[in-house]
Structure 1
Amino acid sequence: MEHSNVTDRQFLTRFAWISIGAAVLTIGLKTVAYFLTGSVGLLSDALESIVNLVGALMALAMLTVAARPADEDHDYGHGKAEYFSSGVE
């Protein structure tokens, strides 16, 4: 069964949103654990998890850009924009 490009982008966008939710939840849980325990290691880990959130947000942004159709400046579309998100994290 062959998938359309639109279906693939919707699939990837759904997982980008799941990644964003997971990152926010992880940051929240680690921050709460820090306040309960006072462990600087947990605080450090929570702050490091922000990198995951930024990466997921960048992936979602680039998927949105890549979904744009071809225009005067981009004869073949914007699909290559997806590769920029890989360099952020």
Structure 2
Amino acid sequence: EDCDRAITALCSTFEVTSSPVHQAQKSLAYADVPPVRGAALDRNQAQLAIRHVPDRPGMAARLFRLLADHNISVDMIIQSQRCR
């Protein structure tokens, strides 16, 4: 399954292990903390790419209004403008 492969790749790339979420110890010194300490994967989320959206005021609002009208919540927005 894609999720399991993603977790395996993440763990091997950043040398982390899969474990339950827990509170971090406050006594850790920042110098001792690795750049990536863990990651979480939500198997109930999907990624959606909307391409060729006109760069005009209000376009994003129209898109997200449509999603909201259909009870689709958005957790993260990444906006990228590519030059040709």
Give TM-score, length-normalised by structure 2. Answer: 0.28
The structure, 1 or 2, with the larger RCO (C-alpha pairs under 8 Å, 6+ apart) is 1
Q: Which structure has the bigger radius of gyration?
A: 2
